[in-house]
């Protein structure tokens, strides 16, 4: 029923230009944190100031005229752009152009750039999920879902029409017929599921720089895998000499110290798989980041556990970042001692430019 | 598209309301073009809005971008376009289909007032009232170029033009700055299009002294506008390089009176003046040119299709200027009338809530933004009250007794007459300058806010009337754009383009200025420069086709 509209041509041009701009900037995005925190459930918001048509115009003035109560000296608002680093403050109302892309689109551009093959999900049964979505207003429903504003308005309207509204005593009494409720619809969605298990070394030798590398890499891994599966869960494990499961906030911000026992992380990971994510139902993606400085007596045990872990997973990825005291030996150990090379992927992430190659190595297998 | 398919989409039920409101509006004294309403769904309305109200415009990606932005904020419930109205005769107005009846009534009343404003406000007098047709013609022309030269090429060129879109002379339509003998380039308002009355009220056309007319380059307001020029040079047709011919005109006198009637010092001064003017005549452009787009249309080395597109962009830019110049007034006027027509005539009891909801939604705003609807409405109401009660003039201004001021009522009843006069004669700058009073600022609780460097908190800085007014006015001046003029089209005698930013206390946004110069270079094809002030220092920003650089000037 949709007619072809004039605007469709212009929109297509716009989309094409956006895509081109994102694509030409993808290497920059890959190695910089600009997009982190900009991903919602389905969409990524990408700042693209270069798309704005440049004109001669004024820079910031740092003042404006407002309206309302208050005395000189009272705060009126906090400039959301001023937090953190960067240029302090822009004008209220001045905004940089942000375009929204679906995660699929972004992942596709990333895949084009990195030449990633699409993943064939393993033959798992599909899980059907129920989803409730609020879609409208109904005249009946549970009290807990009552829509206050609509109910109030309805009551007020009725009172005015029937002449029972008294401006001197503007109390509004809703009766049963006035009540309005939020209503929802349930939908079923088939899902092929995946779980990403991130493991990170937080021993003393892993500093903020290293964690930033992990954070960026994981952002793009997420983006890619989310685009390939309908349901993706993420779990986080940190370890030094001991390992534990944490939430994502803790994962990226914990500062620990002490030695490194990699086997501890693999143990927790295996337990997780055994208890919650059976390989029958899930595509499992463990990623491990470390500076490779493992206790020597632990190598043996870690490899043993790895032998157990790898068959359960689609792929197992090990990223070695350059730590404060240089790079460790664990990378070499995996490379030389592990038989099943097909499923174990390793990469050295020396700096932000290394992310590009790491992603290519991890995701380039199409599993 | 919307226009053709929707031409019949105006249900009878709404038609009856339309006639009712039209009658009320007319009875109140509003005077408008014929208004044609169309009802569109939100997608169609967003589309029309993306094209700034016109159904047929040339293809360009930014319309797609605007459409995306509008639909996004519509579907997130951040904003909703209730109506769209176009300055055209007949006036086209679009209504949103899913609005309830009260909203439609309000919007119609609003539209009639807008239309009255378009028709009667002086700043709209020179706009093309057949712009719907004109825009469609532009679309056709540009589409032909697209077919011929390819989308990418044409679109990239349009991008360059749009980058310079705001470099026009906002008073151009009402002031004749050039001699009328001189053919204009494809100017917006004197082509063979539409019933234009261009130049009727132009006062700058008085005959100039021949000495500049005969230099073949026409009269500039700068050279003929000065007082006391009447005596000089009349009747002379000197060649440019003929020094002998530079002689001021003498009054006839008998020999012995010569030194009294034509004092030598005076003659000498006149000679200097003529020489200076001769010198100026050799400059290019003769006097600084505010209409940068026109200068480029006339002098940039462009292909014919490029020149045509540039002049189209210029014409459309001029069409939208009055709307930018009268945003506060226009919306204030429309809001004033929708509220009067609705509350005094049209509203039924059961509709009050929805009306109040909608009206307050339109008037609301954040503390950081002055809502033009609100500001305009309150100013019009204030003017009406003041002129009804005689609160104007020397006597009232000088009265310092608060009690007397507050009870001041001469019962003049001039309010209605005054607001109609205001809507005819003013634009936002003069409107705010004349009618924003100290009392008004206090009643409306206006304040200036600011923040310290690196401190993210905006803080109320002052409630002083002068500061508030100055800040509002500076935001409205020149439509909030920097004033930039062409100084020299043959800078350094190398065909380079030199422009000047008239700095009034605010620096240019730097990265944008650089990119704009890059685009300008694509049109001018020789190095381009702009002189401005950056952080207190006079600088010249240049782009030579490869890189931009900044040079500090002494």
Angstrom distance (rounded) from CA B68 to CA B43: 10
Q: Quick check: B461 and A14 CB within 8 A?
A: no
Count of C-beta atoms within a 10 Å radius of residue B355: 20
Structural domain count, chain A: 3
Express as a percent the part of chain B with pLDDT over 70. 85
CATH number of the domain bearing residue A339? 3.40.50.410
Same domain, A332 and A240: yes
Chain B residues within 8 A of A99 when measuring between CB atoms = 68
Examine residue A91 and state whether it is found in any structural domain, yes or no: no
For B554, the token pair is 């002494």
Residue A179 Cα, gap to closest chain B Cα (Å): 17
Please indicate, yes or no, whether residues A183 and A250 belong to a single structural domain of this protein: no
pLDDT at A306 over 60: yes
| Residues in Cβ contact with B47 at an 8 Å cutoff, skipping those fewer than 6 apart | A5, A6, A7, B2, B67
Of A71, A92, A97, the CB nearest to B460: A71
Beta pairing class for B537-543 and B548-552: antiparallel
pLDDT, tens digit, 9 for 90 and up, residues A195-254: 899 999 888 777 788 888 888 888 888 888 888 887 788 899 998 888 888 888 888 887
pLDDT of residue B55: 84
Residues A221 and A166 in one domain: no
Residues B469, B475, B480, CA angle at the centre, nearest 5°? 160
* Domain termination residue (choose one: A188, A208, A229): A188
Let me know whether A234 and A156 are in one domain. Answer: no
Q: What whole-number distance in Å separates Cα of residue B496 and Cα of residue B116?
A: 46
Contact B165 A58 (CB under 8 A): no
pLDDT the model gives residue B197: 32
Q: Tell me which chain A residues have a C-beta less than 8 angstroms from the C-beta of B468.
A: 65
Residues A70, B361: contact at Cβ < 8 Å?
no
Q: Could you tell me if A103 and A221 lie in one domain?
A: no
Both A176 and A33 in one domain: the answer is: no
Contact list in B for residue A88 (CB cut-off 8 A) is: 453-456
Which residues of A, range 141-170, sit inside 8 Å of B by Cβ? 153, 156-157, 160-161, 163
Residue ranges of A 47-106 with Cβ closer than 8 A to chain B: 51, 53-80, 82-83, 88-89, 92-93, 97, 99-100
Q: Do B456 and A69 touch (CB under 8 A)?
A: no
> Cα distance from A57 to chain B (closest Cα, Å)?
6
Q: What is the pLDDT of residues B236-285, one digit of tens each?
A: 555 555 555 667 777 888 888 888 888 888 888 888 888 877 776 677 88
Residues from chain B that touch A76, judged by Cβ atoms under 8 A, are 367-368, 449, 458-460
Residue A236, φ and ψ in degrees, nearest 5: -130, 135
Q: Is B22 left (phi over 0), alpha (psi -120 to 50) or beta?
A: alpha
pLDDT score, position A190: 61
Look up residue B35 and give its DSSP letter.
E
Q: For residues B296 and B528, give the distance between their C-alpha atoms in angstroms, rounded to a whole number.
A: 12
- With 90 as the cut, is the pLDDT of residue A341 above it? no
SS in 3 state form for B431-491?
HHHHHCCHHHHHHHCEEEEECCCCCCEEEEEECCHHHHHHHHHHHHHHHHCCCEEEEEEEE
Nearest to A59 among B353, B369, B506 (CB): B506
Binned at pLDDT 50, 70 and 90, residue A3 comes out as low
Asked if A144 and A220 sit in the same domain, the reply is no
- Please answer whether residues A263 and A298 qualify as being in contact, where contact means their C-beta atoms are separated by less than 8 angstroms: yes
Alpha-carbon distance of A28 to A363, in angstroms, equals 19
Q: Within this chain, do residues A239 and A181 fall inside the same structural domain, yes or no?
A: no
Minimal-distance CA residue of chain B relative to A8: B64
Tokens of A181: 């409720």
Top pLDDT among B359 and A259 is at B359
Q: Which residues of A touch B159 (CB under 8 A)?
A: 53
Cβ–Cβ gap A72/B447 under 8 Å = yes
Q: What confidence score (pLDDT) does residue B7 get?
A: 46
In a domain, A146, yes or no: yes
Domain extent at residue A161: 129-188
Strand A193-201, strand A231-239: pairing: parallel
Q: State the pairing for strand pair B446-450/A63-67.
A: antiparallel
Cis, peptide link before residue A157, omega less than 30° from 0: no
Whether A72 and B472 lie within 8 Å, measured CB to CB: no
Tell me the pLDDT tens digit for each residue of B484-497: 999 999 898 899 99
CB B317 within 8 A of CB B173: no
Confidence class for position A164, pLDDT limits 50, 70, 90: confident
Residues of B in contact with A163 (CB under 8 A): 349
Q: Based on the fold, state whether residues A273 and A353 are members of the same structural domain.
A: yes
| Contact between residue A358 and residue A217 where contact means Cβ atoms under 8 Å apart | yes
| Spatial CA neighbour of B460 closest among A79, A74, A80 | A74
Q: Are B471 and A17 an interchain contact pair (Cβ–Cβ within 8 Å)?
A: no
Chain centroid offset of residue B498 CA: 24
Whether B152 contacts chain A with CB within 8 A: no
Contacts of B462 in chain A (CB under 8 A): 72
- Domain presence at residue A62: no
A78's tokens: 């906090």
Mean pLDDT on B459-480: 91
In a domain, A326, yes or no: yes
Q: What is the mean pLDDT of chain A?
A: 80
Confirm if B102 and B354 have CB atoms less than 8 A apart.
Answer: yes
In the 3-class helix/strand/coil scheme, how is chain A assigned residue by residue?
CCCCCHHHHHHHHHHHHHHHHHHHCHHHHHHCHHHCCCECCCEEEEECHHHCCCCCCECCCCEEEEECCCCCCCEEEECHHHCCCCCCCCCCCCCCCEEEEEHHHHHHHHHHHHCCCCCCCCCCCCEEEEEEEEEEEECCCCHHHECHHHHHHHHHHHHHHHCCCCCCCCCCCCCHHHCCEEEEEEEEEEECEEEEEEEEECCCCCCHHHHHHHHHHHHHHHHHHHHHCCEEEEEEEEECCCEEEECHHHHHHCCCCCCCCHHHHHHHHHHHHHHCCCCCCEEEEEEEEECCCCCHHHHHHHHHHHHHHHHHCCCEEEEEECECCECCCHHHHHHHHCCCCCCEEEEEECCCCHHHHHHHHHHCCCC
> Is residue A310 in a domain?
yes
Phi, psi of B363 (to 5 degrees): -85, -20
Percentage of chain A surpassing pLDDT 70?
Answer: 87
Give residue B143's pLDDT: 94
Distance (Å, whole) CA B486 – CA B501: 9
Q: CA-CA distance, B68 to B60, in Å (whole number)? A: 13
A215 shares its domain with A353: yes
Residue of A19, A55, A155, A164 best to disrupt the B interface, most CBs of B under 10 A: A55
B128 close to B134: Cβ distance less than 8 angstroms: yes
Kindly state whether residue A242 falls inside one of the protein's structural domains: yes
How many separate helices (H) and strands (E) can be counted in chain B? 23, 10
List strands edge to edge, sheet with A282-290: A243-246, A231-239, A193-201, A282-290, A316-321, A344-349
For residue A122 the two structure tokens come to 């393993």
Tens of pLDDT, residue by residue over B93-122, are: 999 988 889 999 999 999 999 999 999 999
pLDDT of res. B281: 63
The CA-atom distances, in angstroms, between B507 and each of A61, B164, B483, B539 are 9, 18, 11, 11
Shortest alpha-carbon distance between residue B174 and chain A (Å): 24
Lowest mean pLDDT among A134-138, A186-190, A192-196: A186-190
User: Do residues A271 and A285 share a domain?
Assistant: yes
Residues 320-359 of B with CB under 8 A from A: 349-350, 352-354, 357
- In whole angstroms, give the CA distance from residue B311 to residue B298: 10
Residues 6+ apart with CB under 8 A from B293: B161, B164, B165, B167, B168, B310, B313, B314, B317
Task: Of A139-143, A319-323, B324-328, give the lowest mean pLDDT range.
Answer: A319-323
CB contact under 8 A, B461 and A88: no
pLDDT in the model for residue A81: 52
pLDDT in tens, B25-75: 999 999 999 999 999 988 889 999 999 999 889 999 999 989 988 888 888
Pairwise CA distance, residues B258 & B152, whole Å: 72
Q: Does B460 touch chain A (CB under 8 A)?
A: yes
Residue A111 belongs to a domain: yes
Q: Rounded CA gap, A96 and B161, in Å?
A: 21
Q: Which of residues 58-77 of B touch A (CB under 8 A)?
A: 59-65, 67-68, 72
Residue among B98, B459, B474, B521 with most chain A CBs within 10 A, to mutate: B459
B222 pLDDT more than 70: no
Number of inter-chain CB pairs under 8 A, A vs B? 208
Distance from the B40 Cα atom to the nearest Cα atom in chain A, whole angstroms: 14
Q: Give the pLDDT band of residue B6 (cuts 50, 70, 90).
A: very low
Distance CA B330, CA B199 (A): 24
Q: Is residue A276 part of a domain?
A: yes
Residue in A closest to B59 by C-alpha? A10
- pLDDT at position B246 is 67
CA A28 to chain B, closest CA, distance in angstroms equals 19
Closest-approach residue (CA) in chain A for B462: A72
Same-domain pairing of A156 and A240: no
DSSP state of B165: T
């Amino acid at each position: 029923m949709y007619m072809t509209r004039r605007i469709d041509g212009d929109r297509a041009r716009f989309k094409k230009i956006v895509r081109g701009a994102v694509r030409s900037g993808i290497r920059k995005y890959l190695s910089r944190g600009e997009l982190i925190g900009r991903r919602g459930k389905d969409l990524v918001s990408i700042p693209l100031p270069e798309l704005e048509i440049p004109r001669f115009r004024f820079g910031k003035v740092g003042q404006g005229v407002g309206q309302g109560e208050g005395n000189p000296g009272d705060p009126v608002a906090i400039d959301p752009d001023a937090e953190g680093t960067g240029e302090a403050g822009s004008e209220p109302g001045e905004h940089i152009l942000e375009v929204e892309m679906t995660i699929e689109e972004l992942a596709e551009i990333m895949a084009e750039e990195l030449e990633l093959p699409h993943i064939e999900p393993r033959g798992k049964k599909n899980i059907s999920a129920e989803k409730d979505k609020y879609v409208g207003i109904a005249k009946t429903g549970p009290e807990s879902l009552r829509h206050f504003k609509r109910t109030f308005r309805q009551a007020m309207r009725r009172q005015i029409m029937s002449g029972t509204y008294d401006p001197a005593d503007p109390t509004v009494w809703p009766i049963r017929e006035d009540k309005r409720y939020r209503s929802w619809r349930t939908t079923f969605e088939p899902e092929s599921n995946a779980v990403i298990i991130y493991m990170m070394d937080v021993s003393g030798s892993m500093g903020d720089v290293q964690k930033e590398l992990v954070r960026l890499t994981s952002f793009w891994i997420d983006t890619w895998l989310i685009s390939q599966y309908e349901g993706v869960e993420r779990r986080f494990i940190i370890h030094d000499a001991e390992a534990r499961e944490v939430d994502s906030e803790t994962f990226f911000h914990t500062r620990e110290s002490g030695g490194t026992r990699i086997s501890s992380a693999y143990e927790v990971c295996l337990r997780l798989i055994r208890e919650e994510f059976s390989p029958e139902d899930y595509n499992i993606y463990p990623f491990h980041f470390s500076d490779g400085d493992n206790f020597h007596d632990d190598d043996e045990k870690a490899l043993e556990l790895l032998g157990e872990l790898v068959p359960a997973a689609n792929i197992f990825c090990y990223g070695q970042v350059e730590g404060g005291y240089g790079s460790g030996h664990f990378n070499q150990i995996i490379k030389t001692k592990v038989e099943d090379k097909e499923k174990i992927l390793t990469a050295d992430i020396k700096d932000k430019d290394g992310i590009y190659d790491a992603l290519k190595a991890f995701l380039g297998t199409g599993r | 598209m919307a226009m053709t398919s929707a031409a019949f989409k105006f249900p009878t039920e709404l038609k009856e309301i339309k006639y009712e409101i039209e009658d009320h509006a007319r009875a109140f004294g509003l005077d408008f073009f014929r208004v044609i309403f169309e009802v569109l769904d939100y997608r169609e309305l967003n589309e029309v809005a993306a094209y700034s109200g016109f159904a047929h415009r040339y293809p360009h990606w930014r319309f797609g971008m605007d459409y995306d932005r509008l639909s996004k904020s519509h579907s997130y419930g951040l904003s909703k376009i209730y109506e769209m109205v176009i300055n055209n005769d007949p006036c086209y107005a679009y209504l949103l289909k899913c609005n309830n009846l009260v909203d439609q009534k309000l919007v119609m009343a609003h539209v009639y007032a807008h239309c009255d404003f378009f028709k009667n406000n002086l700043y709209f007098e020179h706009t093309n009232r057949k712009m719907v047709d004109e825009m469609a013609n532009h679309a056709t022309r540009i589409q032909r170029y697209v077919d011929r030269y390819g989308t990418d090429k044409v679109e990239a060129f349009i991008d360059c033009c749009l980058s310079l879109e705001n470099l026009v002379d906002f008073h151009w339509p009402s002031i004749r700055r050039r001699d009328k003998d001189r053919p204009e380039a494809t100017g917006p308002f004197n082509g063979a299009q539409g019933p234009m009355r261009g130049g009727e009220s132009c006062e700058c056309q008085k005959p100039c002294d021949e000495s500049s007319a005969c230099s073949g380059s026409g009269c500039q307001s700068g050279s003929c506008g000065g007082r006391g020029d009447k005596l000089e040079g009349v009747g002379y047709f000197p060649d440019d390089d003929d020094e002998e011919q530079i002689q001021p005109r003498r009054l006839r006198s008998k020999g012995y009176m010569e030194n009294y009637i034509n004092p030598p010092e005076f003659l000498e001064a006149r000679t200097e003046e003529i020489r200076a003017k001769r010198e100026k005549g050799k400059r290019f452009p003769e006097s600084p040119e505010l209409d940068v787009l026109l200068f480029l249309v006339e002098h940039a080395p462009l292909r014919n299709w490029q020149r045509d597109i540039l002049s189209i962009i210029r014409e459309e830019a001029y069409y939208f200027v009055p709307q930018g110049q009268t945003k506060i007034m226009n919306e204030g006027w429309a809001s004033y009338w929708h509220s009067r027509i609705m509350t005094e005539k049209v509203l039924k009891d059961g509709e009050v809530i929805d009306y109040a909801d909608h009206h307050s939604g339109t008037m609301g705003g954040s503390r950081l933004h002055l809502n033009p609807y609100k500001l305009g409405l309150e100013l019009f109401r204030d003017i009406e009250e003041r002129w009804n009660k005689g609160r104007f003039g020397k006597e009232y201004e000088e009265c310092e007794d608060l009690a007397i001021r507050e009870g001041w009522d001469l019962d003049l009843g001039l309010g209605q007459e005054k607001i109609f006069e205001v809507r005819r004669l003013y634009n936002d700058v003069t409107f705010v300058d004349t009618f924003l009073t100290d009392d008004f600022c206090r009643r409306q609780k206006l304040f200036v806010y600011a923040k310290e460097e690196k401190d993210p908190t905006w803080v109320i800085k002052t409630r002083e009337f002068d500061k508030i007014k100055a800040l509002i006015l500076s935001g409205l001046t020149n439509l909030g754009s920097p004033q930039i003029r062409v100084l020299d089209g043959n800078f350094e005698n190398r065909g380079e383009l030199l422009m000047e930013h008239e700095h009034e206390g605010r620096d240019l946004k730097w990265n944008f200025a650089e990119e704009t110069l890059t685009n300008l270079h694509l049109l001018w094809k020789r190095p381009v420069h702009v002189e401005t002030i950056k952080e207190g220092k006079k600088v010249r920003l240049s782009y030579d086709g490869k890189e931009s650089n900044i040079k500090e000037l002494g």
